[in-house]
Structure 1
Amino acid sequence: MEEQQATLRTVDDRPVLRFERRLAHSPEKVWKAVTDPAEMVHWFPATVETEQVVGAAMRFTFEGGDDLTHGRILEFDPPKVYAFRWNQDVLRFEVLPDGPGCRLVFTHTLGGGWAGRLTAGRTAAGWDVCLVALLARLDGEPSEQPSEQPSGWADRIGAYVEVFGLAEGETRESGDSHLVRFARDLMWKPVEEVWDVLVERDDPRPGAEPPAWLTNPYVPAGPVTEAGAPRVLEYDWLHDGEPAGRVRWEFAHDPAQGTRVVLTQTVPARLADLRATALAAWQAHLEVLFAAVQGEPRRRPEGRVEELRKLYEHRLG
């Protein structure tokens, strides 16, 4: 199988992941592997129950049987096209004859608006693992249902997050200040568990120092101004020893999308030249923070902030 990296594009205002694989197997064999529930169990992340007709209801059960979701078949044209809705998402498999084998074109349209788009990195990494299991099944090699979190998971996701531009921050005008903003997916961990990791189980209080995981050395931290465990933490940041603005962390959990964080920093107009440094420092910090939340702690690569600062300076003009 020739493996290509997934791409992310926008179609009709919705994010769409696209995967393409060239397979040394007949279209009929690949069709059976991607449509027959008895075959899908070897590579698809959930057990599928359905009738193979357009309009049929679908039932997806994850390992252990505790998680149950639903969908509906949208297209069923053997041995060419199979598409179905899965909760808010749409999955579509197209099998195209190609010489002695075929090409499999798989697209995943992500629902959930901007929050759904944030999950594109982890979704792409997950499907890469599933497609490797699919190839093993087609080749007659032993395969197991893909693990929820294989080795190097944080790095795999992080690579896609960067390629898709999901790691980048933005700046907005906010009155007489600028607002530096990041939004990042934190996977499926409960928000309470994420909070415990980042505050190290010692809930901060107003007036106290903010937890180290929620600060970075390029944005000197002042005292906590608001603390609402496990969802909100805000504190002053300092310039020349005096409060210059606020840093605010907001954590949210959606049963359909998982846990995410929105990080903002207000920067007064007189300090606008600090925006590139703030953007670079927080992006690098969020990369390390994401890995820590996934149980894969690491240090920030040397020179990473400077590398990003140059990119943001160019963008900001």
Structure 2
Amino acid sequence: MNETLTLHPDGRTTVRMQRRLPHPPDKVWRAITQPEHLAAWFPAEVTIDGDRITYGFGPDGRITQHDPPHVFAHTWGDDHLRWELQPDGPHGTLLSFTHTFTDRHGAASFTTGWHTCIMAMLAHLDGRPFHHDPAAMARLHDDYIHILGLDPVTVDDDTVRLERQLTRPADDVWQHLGGDHATAGQTPPAPFTVSGVPAGPVMRAETGKILEYATERGTVRWELTEGTGHGARLILTCTGDPSVADDWRIRMEELASELTSFTK
């Protein structure tokens, strides 16, 4: 695998992936541009009418570059996708793919999805079935967090903030953390805490959404929101002591690992 992440001054993010495919560019070109082939691997139903592309969900797009069989680029709402094909030996293709988007913390989810799509495209080109493995995708997602350097922690004055895309929906995360046992005025369930931050009483608990509690120096707030793909986005803030950033970073890694094997 070969992936890089670029952050742009305007706040947008680009993921770039390269794959070597044992098929000639003309054949790969058909797979990335013809709806009857896209149906075998692309994550949405595609209809092309001139330079307009409609998808089975989400906003429409426009073709921004069409240079057969070398470059095919198009928008999908505010996102931009670009596929570049170069000959690789007598019968192969070097595929370079870029996806530019605004949600930096969704990069691992996007990259996992596109890796899986390209593997499905390769299976289609090979003429063999492709088997989707959600557990393997969850593990790959967390690998991409590290491969792409997506450190979830920022520190601003006395506030530590972590944001991370998770691989499970909010209700599963809440259940795993023991959120249903949170009671206002009582100490929060242990999975919501770290040893470096003595926990005080729960101040607010909204099932599947928010748990907030007091500490000796400030507050801790766990918030689960809609994320990229099928998982929730976790936003955690701890005020009062910026020195505990590593404690929360470690706890976030532990939680991500636990969720890959969590069962109801």
Give TM-score, length-normalised by structure 1. 0.73
Residue 198, structure 1, aligned to residue 177, structure 2: yes
Deviation, structure 1 residue 16: 0.4
Q: Which residue of the partner structure matches residue 308 of structure 1?
A: none
Structure 1 CA distance, aligned partners of 2:167 and 2:200?
29
Provide the C-alpha distance between the structure 2 equivalents of 1:95 and 1:140, rounded to a whole number of angstroms: 20
DSSP-derived class of the 2:135 partner: coil
Match of 2:27 in 1: 29
Matched with 1:150 is 134
Deviation at 1:136, TM superposition (A): 1.9
In the alignment, what sits opposite 2:238?
265
Asked if the contact 2:108/2:144 (under 8 Å) is kept, the reply is yes
Q: Give yes or no for contact 1:154–1:291 (8 Å, CA) kept in 2.
A: no
The alpha carbon displacement at 1:133 in A equals: 1.7
Post-superposition Cα deviations, 1:292-317, rounded to whole Å, max 9, x if no partner, equal: 44x5249xxxxxxxxxxxxxxxxxxx
Structure 2 gap ranges (5+) = none
Q: Distance in 2 between matches of 1:188 and 1:7?
A: 25
What code does the residue aligned with 1:265 have? C
| Inter-partner Cα distance in structure 2 for 1:205 and 1:120 | 35
Partner in structure 2 of residue 232 of structure 1: 210
Partner amino acid for 1:182? Answer: L
Contact 2:19 2:94 in 1 (8 A): yes
1:30, CA displacement in angstroms? Answer: 0.9
Relative contact order: is structure 1 or structure 2 higher (C-alpha 8 Å, sep ≥ 6)?
2
Aligned AA (1:110): F
Q: Which residue of structure 2 lines up, in the alignment, with residue 134 of structure 1?
A: 121
- 1:22: how far off? 2.1
Task: Name 1:296's counterpart in structure 2.
Answer: 261
Q: Aligned match of 2:191 in 213, 217, 242? A: 213
Q: Distance in 2 between matches of 1:211 and 1:228?
A: 14
Partner deviation per Cα, 1:244-296 (whole Å, 9 max, x = no partner): 3221112222689963121111235xxx6xx1xx2222112112323444x52
Kindly provide the CA deviation profile for residues 155-213 of structure 1, in whole angstroms up to 9, marking residues without a partner as x.
2111111232323412111xxxx111111113572x455434433433x2321121222
Given the superposition, is the C-alpha separation of residues 256 and 137 from structure 1 closer, same or farther in structure 2, using an over 3 Å criterion?
Answer: closer
Contact 2:141 2:167 in 1 (8 A): no
Q: Aligned partner of 2:70: which letter?
A: K
CA distance in 2, matches of 1:225, 1:247: 10
Aligned to 1:247: 220
Rounded to whole Å, the distance in 2 between the matches of 1:254 and 1:260 is: 4
Alignment of 1:298-313 (within 5 A): none
SS in 1 for 2:97: strand
State the alpha-carbon separation in 1 of the partners of residues 255 and 228 from structure 2: 22
User: Gaps spanning 5+ residues in structure 1: where?
Assistant: 62-66, 238-242, 299-317
In 2, are the aligned partners of 1:21 and 1:105 still within 8 Å (CA)?
Answer: yes
**Aligned sequence identity (%):** 37
Q: TM-score, normalised by structure 2?
A: 0.86
From 58, 62, 70, the counterpart of 1:72: 62
SS of the residue aligned with 1:201? helix
Pairwise CA RMSD = 2.6
